[in-house]
A and B are shown apart, each in its own frame.
Chain A
Amino acid sequence: MHSILKTSLAALVAAGITASSAAADAHGLSGELNIISDMSNPAPRAVMEGLAADFDALHPNLEVNLTIVDREAWKTQIRNALGANPPDVVNWYAANRMRPYVDAGLFADISDLWAEPEFEALASTKGAMTLDGAQWGVPYTYYQWGVYYRKDIFDQYGLSEPTNWEEELANCQTLLDNGVKCYTIGTKFLWTAGGWFDYINSRTNGYDFHMALARGEVEWTDDRVRQTFANWRQLIDMGAFIDDHQTYSWQEALPFMVNGEAAAYLMGNFAVAAMRDGGLTDDQLDFYQFPMINPDVDYAEDAPTDTFHIASGAQNMDAAKEFLRYVTSAEVQTAINGGDALGQLPVNANASIDADKFLEQGFDMLSNNAGGGIMQFFDRDFDAEMASVGMEGLQEFMVFPDNLDDILMRLEETRQRIYN
């Protein structure tokens, strides 16, 4: 039955692709399209190679050349690659990570693409693709962050998913009274603490404030930032987080949740695969959106987005734009984000997703309940240097909350040095 469904879905996708190809052929793309991709891990690599081959097949007169570069190496190579003899299309990341290349004029402005009606389906990430009032790329995949929790433990103590901060604190107190930690976390590599800050800050002060802070427009010593840390400290003072979390990586913090010593984990959706490997069933595991703190601000969500961009020096602009239309179409986004491909969420709101309760909840949350905006995660939204100093500060705060003044002063000094 499952395979029949799959086949018919594939047929549908194929039909959709043929339909859009008929329209595209009218443009008569020709020449070469050079793509450099950083999708170097096995499954993403297969996806990218499939995309290039399919696009090549759709346009008989067009030759698609695909180069796949190691994902980590690409982070240092992209500037070189865009500078001399640039390709047409490259992979990168949304939001502030685009800033250096936009400022240097290396990414092409594709606001005209975003003005097309089809792009309204990508509205959830439009903000993340916008810098200086223009759009500079298109998203092809993202994944949600949120609280993954042990439903069986919640049921045992009669708890329900919290929707606001009071419920959250009450839940946590009940768990602690029963000897279960509320949250597991491993801050050895710092970034996990960044997720907590993203959520508490955006729930306390709103998306716009959070992004202004990320852009260096607000002082770290601002009272609103202090309010964020005060909220966070409520959890820390309760002992909500596992002990000695600064010695664990995110993976090494998983056993606490799998063994029932901690009830929940604020993490990206990639954690689900690991938790299932650890033996947790979908009956034991569930997901909820990070609860509201300040009722006056809308939900903003962390959803790191991977993107395609056109180099400003692209030789074949028409083909590059057509490729961007192609990868953002609902059919293609459905196909490449499926469980047998990337296993993440399509950005196109008209795309469909695999029958997986976490993907379904995440897709619904990001498409319908993230009115505040989509954050890209602490280390992508903040300037790279600010992020690294910042995350050290966040980790220190989680271990020694009394050092807050000291930490904020340090972050503020860094902000002034970097942004002024």
Chain B
Amino acid sequence: MFPTPIAKTSRTWQISYQALLPVMLIIWLLPLIAVANFSIKPESDFVNGNYWGIPSSFEAFSNYGRVFFESNMPRYLWNSLFITIPTVIGAVALSAMAGFALGVYKFKGNLLLFFIFIAGNFVPFQILMVPVRDLTLSLNLYDTKTGLVLFHIAFQTGFCTLFMRNFIRALPFPLIEAARVEGIAEWRIFLFVVLPLMKPALAALAVLIFTFIWNDYFWAVVLTQGPDAQPVTAGITEFNSQYRAAYHLMSAGSIVAALPPVAMFFLMQKHFIAGLTLGAVK
């Protein structure tokens, strides 16, 4: 099932593998390299058609300086943070409780309820675009961070609950039974017995949701407009002025916008990979 480890293959294959790997890596990263290259070019390079060549002058400081000091980017970054963090807290808290209920209690319709949570994940979110927009509009939440947060929590909780429920199922049930024998209230069991055991799942889920929400573009465009509420993914288009697209600033802005999730990934790599497999393997 797994490919033979490279260390056990023939020497020629090892060499060609080592030679091919960097080539593949560069091809794979080409779009990102281009964006990074664009972000340190002066604007004149785009007018001269110098798209792929070496920048005619090194403009990283002025480009990134303008992104941070002469645009709404800092506001968009704050918006992203104020949207992402409450969503992570809300979705993880709700799903931990829902997962506990679905994983521990036996009641009629338990499985059905669980399937509804799963089924929600299969709804392609594009078809929700119009109704959700109308809903937020009539709730006076259109173009607010709150509106985006509430929607994200509602939509992410489905996936998170599936994840949490499966994780709680895998915990040794006798622990909970022992606590019950001691006469501990159910909410205290959740808080003091189950929750501490769920730490790896909570961490993994938080990292995962953070990157999901931070990178969300679709709902940001549908539900918000302007620097008051828009997160950074949608705000980048601000560098398109009425007539011209400022490719160099947009590239610099994209790099800045991509940094938090990348940093998150490297800092929490262990949890991230755990998060991708935890719910799947029972």
**A270 x B244 contact (CB < 8 A):** yes
Separation in Å of the A363 CB from the closest CB of chain B? 19
Give the distance in Å from the alpha carbon of A273 to the alpha carbon of B48 in the complex: 13
Using CB atoms, name the residue of chain B closest to A273.
B244
Contact flag A278-B242 (CB < 8 Å), given A70-B225, A73-B225: no
Say whether A335 faces chain B, with CB atoms less than 8 Å apart: no
**A71 x B242 contact (CB < 8 A):** yes
Which of A69, A255, A273 has most B Cβ within 10 Å?
A255
Interface string of A257-276 (1 = CB under 8 A from B): 01100000000101001110
The residue from B47, B225, B241, B242 contacting A254, defined by CB atoms under 8 A apart: B47
Say whether B226 faces chain A, with CB atoms less than 8 Å apart: yes
Say whether B109 faces chain A, with CB atoms less than 8 Å apart: no
Say whether B31 faces chain A, with CB atoms less than 8 Å apart: no
The residue from B43, B49, B225, B243 contacting A255, defined by CB atoms under 8 A apart: B49
Say whether A416 faces chain B, with CB atoms less than 8 Å apart: no
**B44 x A277 contact (CB < 8 A):** yes
Chain B 14-71 interface residues, beta-carbon cutoff 8 Å to A: 43-44, 46-49
For chain B, the count of residues having a C-beta within 8 Å of the partner chain is 13
Residues of B within 8 A of A73 (CB): 225-226
The residue from B47, B241, B243, B245 contacting A277, defined by CB atoms under 8 A apart: B47
Separation in Å of the A417 CB from the closest CB of chain B? 26
Give the distance in Å from the alpha carbon of A32 to the alpha carbon of B43 in the complex: 44
**B44 x A251 contact (CB < 8 A):** no
Contact flag A278-B47 (CB < 8 Å), given A71-B242, A268-B243: yes
**B245 x A251 contact (CB < 8 A):** yes
Give the distance in Å from the alpha carbon of A5 to the alpha carbon of B144 in the complex: 46
Residues of A within 8 A of B44 (CB): 277-279
Say whether A41 faces chain B, with CB atoms less than 8 Å apart: yes
Interface string of A289-305 (1 = CB under 8 A from B): 00000000000000000
**B226 x A70 contact (CB < 8 A):** yes
Separation in Å of the B153 CB from the closest CB of chain A? 25
Residues of A within 8 A of B48 (CB): 255, 258-259, 278-279
Give the distance in Å from the alpha carbon of A279 to the alpha carbon of B46 in the complex: 11
Residues of A within 8 A of B225 (CB): 70, 73
Residues of B within 8 A of A279 (CB): 44, 47-48
**A259 x B49 contact (CB < 8 A):** yes
Give the distance in Å from the alpha carbon of A73 to the alpha carbon of B243 in the complex: 16
Residues of B within 8 A of A275 (CB): 47
Separation in Å of the B240 CB from the closest CB of chain A? 9
Interface string of A169-181 (1 = CB under 8 A from B): 0000000000000
**A41 x B47 contact (CB < 8 A):** no
Contact flag A255-B47 (CB < 8 Å), given A70-B225, A70-B226, A73-B225: yes
**A274 x B226 contact (CB < 8 A):** no
Using CB atoms, name the residue of chain A closest to B43.
A277
**B244 x A274 contact (CB < 8 A):** yes
**A270 x B243 contact (CB < 8 A):** yes
Residues of A within 8 A of B226 (CB): 40, 69-70, 73
Give the distance in Å from the alpha carbon of A275 to the alpha carbon of B46 in the complex: 10
Give the distance in Å from the alpha carbon of A268 to the alpha carbon of B245 in the complex: 15
Contact flag A258-B49 (CB < 8 Å), given A277-B44, A278-B44: yes
**A251 x B244 contact (CB < 8 A):** yes
Give the distance in Å from the alpha carbon of A70 to the alpha carbon of B242 in the complex: 11
Give the distance in Å from the alpha carbon of A275 to the alpha carbon of B49 in the complex: 12
Residues of A within 8 A of B (CB): 40-41, 44, 69-71, 73, 249, 251-252, 254-256, 258-259, 268, 270, 273-275, 277-279
Residues of B within 8 A of A (CB): 43-44, 46-49, 225-226, 241-245
- What would 17 more interface pairs be, CB under 8 Å, given A251-B47, A256-B49? A44-B242, A69-B226, A70-B225, A71-B242, A73-B226, A251-B46, A251-B244, A251-B245, A252-B49, A254-B49, A258-B49, A268-B243, A270-B242, A273-B244, A277-B47, A278-B44, A278-B48
**What are 5 of the A-B contact pairs (CB < 8 Å)?**
A249-B245, A258-B48, A259-B48, A277-B47, A279-B48
